[in-house]
Amino acid sequence: MRLICMMLLALPLAAVEIPRYGTHDFSFNAAAAGNPFDGGLTGLFEGPGGLRLSVPGFYDGSNTWRIRFSPTAEGKWTMRTSSPLAALDGKTDASIVCIANPHPQIRRGGLRVDPAHPHHFIREDGSRHFLLGYESDWLWGVGEDMHTLINQMAARGFNHVLVNIYGHDTSWSPGKKHQYDFGPPAVFPWEGTNAAPDHSRLNPAFFQHYDSMMRALRDKGIVAHIMLKVYNKKVNWPAKWSADEERYFRYVTARYQGFQNVVWDFAKESFNEKDERLQSRLTDLVRSADAYHRLFTAHDDDLYSWDGGLNRNLDFRTDQQHTDFAESIAFERAMRKWPVVNSEFGYERGVDKFPTYRTEHDWEEQLRRGYLVYFAGGYGVYYYHNTAWDVFKPEPEAPGMTRFERIRKILEPLPYWRMEPANELAFGGPCLALRGEVYAFYVEGARLTANLSQLAGAATAEWINTWDGRQVPVKVGASVMKLTKPEAFGKAPAVLVVRRSSGG
């Protein structure tokens, strides 16, 4: 018996296999004498080629602590913990192996700004990322309908969703007016209630539920653009400059940085934070605690984003403009070479009419605004009344979703990251161009005059109906041309795509 026991002890531990850019929770059990959310735990990981990651851990309730790790390179890794708690300090694991990730989206890694084309995004593996956004602030708090909308988004090509960590209620639909009204939610990020919170202690049950949303989005290839705060949704936040405030920001950073589909946003309507020193400090706090360097932005904070001394800790611009779509994007692109996302340019009315936000648009107008945003060189975010806030009813599917998807279907196959706004090459609609090679024109009226004189050789061209996707070929040449949209398209705006022929 003694010999058998000695042989078992001598056997190596089974390897912990983690797909590259996947997530794995290393769990530990320990009782804390004081507030466990102040306990402190860090995982020091070493990987291939001298890679080192210092990943903060978090308390998950019931004396359970976790370090959420996402390996960034294939091969062997080791871990050693560091903690002021003796029961958590010095734990080691030398059996970690990062393997190839079979998931077609997760294996691309996290979102990055393309250093060669800084108005656009790439993934960590260098692949292109055409951002098609959707906003759903209460997505985490709507029960099984969460999966209905996530499946709809994925099916329609949406790959980026703006979502709050928490929102309590809206002023335009206060309280629970009907079965589709999910504000105030049943769960809360801190112990206590929104009216009487204990900001010194987080609520692991809330974040365990939020984890399920993060996993569902990740598995569908959708980036979670997490807005860490929101100023107009009746949340009782921790006091500014307090230990409670810092604890919250550190906890969220520790818990979610291990998801490769994360983008940080300081707050929805960040302009409501008038203390720019505080905003800068909290942004730096998140960035310094994030081992993976996820992108960071600030929703619609003009003065912060335009200040070169402040915006050093932002990676891309998130704006909301309801008019002057092209002008505002041109302004932002000229001020700094970074991607520009117009996150809120219209609000498509719900199929079912519920008391919700007062401003509403037909899907045709919502779609029109989207095209103007993308043809100005920016990226857009789709809004639908019945899924944007606490009133949530994703079925029947919003009529604008499949039409909005077509923006991606038209532009993503083009070298859009090399194309620039070139409205001087046309009248009758805006133009994106890689001069001499590829042109795209958005046409709302019947006629377009296009300067194609720089085309190098033969070209192919087609009109595309933005409402139903019908395509009609048209002959073009290297000249200034007057073109007429197909009469069969009726009132539907169209896109004309012109490509230089292969070998031309």
What CATH number should be reported for the domain holding residue 255? 3.20.20.80
**Residue 252 DSSP label:** H
Same domain, 194 and 310: yes
First to last CA, the chain: 80
pLDDT for 14 equals 75
pLDDT at residue 504, rounded to an integer: 42
Q: CA 79 to CA 388: how far, in whole Å? A: 41
- Residues 50, 68, single domain; the answer is yes
Domain containing 447 equals 420-500
* Distance between CA atoms of residues 417 and 128, nearest Å: 8
Per-residue HEC secondary structure of 16-42 comes to EEEECCCCEEEEEECCCCCCHHHCCCE
In a domain, 52, yes or no: yes
Residues 275 and 385 grouped into a single domain: yes
In this structure, are 158 and 180 located in the same domain? yes
How many residues are there in the chain? 504
Domain final residue pick, 411, 435, 455: 411
DSSP state of 231: S
For 464, counting Cβ atoms within 10 Å of its Cβ (0-12 exposed, 13-18 middle, 19+ buried), the class is: buried
Residue 3 belongs to a domain: no
Residues 291 and 328 in one domain: yes
Q: What pLDDT is recorded for position 33?
A: 81
Alpha helices (H) along 276-421: 276-289, 302-306, 325-335, 363-375, 385-388, 399-411
How confident is the model at residue 8, as a pLDDT? 33
For residue 193, being part of any structural domain is answered with yes
Same domain, 313 and 384: yes
Domain boundary among 359, 381, 411: 411
Give the largest Cα separation in the chain, rounded: 92
pLDDT in tens, the chain (504 residues): 443 333 333 334 578 999 999 999 999 999 988 999 997 999 999 999 999 999 999 999 999 999 999 999 999 999 999 999 999 999 999 999 999 999 999 999 999 999 999 999 999 999 999 999 999 999 999 999 999 999 999 999 999 999 999 999 999 999 999 999 999 998 999 999 999 999 999 999 999 999 999 999 999 999 999 999 999 999 999 999 999 999 999 999 999 999 999 999 999 999 999 999 999 999 999 999 999 999 999 999 999 999 999 999 999 999 999 999 999 999 999 999 999 999 999 999 999 989 899 999 999 999 999 999 999 999 999 999 999 999 999 999 999 999 999 999 999 999 999 999 999 999 999 999 999 999 999 999 999 999 999 998 899 999 999 999 999 999 999 999 999 999 999 999 999 999 998 754
Same domain, 86 and 220: no
Residue 113 lies in a domain: no
Kindly state whether residues 129 and 217 are assigned to the same domain: yes
CB distance 56 to 42 below 8 Å: yes
Tell me if 118 is assigned to some domain.
no
- Do residues 195 and 244 share a domain? yes
Q: 325 and 445 in one domain?
A: no
**CATH no. for residue 424?**
2.60.40
Q: What is the CATH number of the domain that holds 23?
A: 2.60.40.10
pLDDT reported for residue 502: 72
* Three-state helix/strand/coil letters over 87-142: CCCCCEEEEEEEECCCCCCHHHCCEEECCCCCCCEEECCCCEECCEEEECCCHHHC
What single DSSP character describes residue 315? Answer: -
110 located within any domain: no
> Is residue 319 within 8 Å of 327, Cβ to Cβ?
no
Do 88 and 157 lie in one domain? The reply is no
Q: Residue 472: CA atoms inside 13 Å, Cβ hemisphere, count?
A: 14
The secondary element (H helix, E strand) that includes residue 2 is helix 2-10
Contact 463, 485 (CB under 8 A): yes
Total of domains in the chain: 3
Q: Is residue 7 part of a domain?
A: no
Query: Taking the CA atoms of the chain, what radius of gyration do you get in angstroms?
Result: 25
Q: What is the DSSP letter of 181?
A: B
Of 411, 435, 468, the residue that ends a domain is: 411
Secondary structure class of 303 (helix, strand, coil): helix
Q: Do the domain assignments include residue 2?
A: no
User: Does 192 share its domain with 333?
Assistant: yes
